[in-house]
Amino acid sequence: MAYELKLHRDVEKQLRRIPKNQQERLVDTMRSCCIEPRPYGCEHLQGFLYRVRVGEYRIIYAVFDVEVVVVVCKVGRRSENTYRNLEKLLDKALNELIK
């Protein structure tokens, strides 16, 4: 069963700042999360939140099994700020889910 993929509006802005060749890899990985929401190498962060690495970038997303939805909350380079405010990212995912 394939999950529905939703992107938070901030993710589109974040993707625009990334070089094209990296954008394609990130988008491919996001799409693959619809088929396997917890791929090998992903890391459970907190609650519904997971992260997957794509080179030097990280995709933080939430998996809602009951609703069969994957919500991408954040895309960016790994830094100290990447994992800050996980509760806020989870709130974004939940808001995207109820839209």
For residues 91 and 60, is the Cβ–Cβ distance under 8 A? no
Chain segment 53-89, per-residue pLDDT in tens: 999 999 999 999 999 999 999 999 988 788 888 889 8
Say how far apart CA 93 and CA 71 lie, in whole Å: 6
Residue 52: give the domain boundaries.
Answer: 4-98
Q: Kindly report the pTM of this predicted structure.
A: 0.92
* Average model confidence (pLDDT) across the chain: 92
What's the pLDDT score for residue 16?
93
We report the CATH number of the domain holding residue 93 as: 3.30.2310.20
Our count of domains for the chain comes to: 1
DSSP-derived secondary structure letter, 99: -
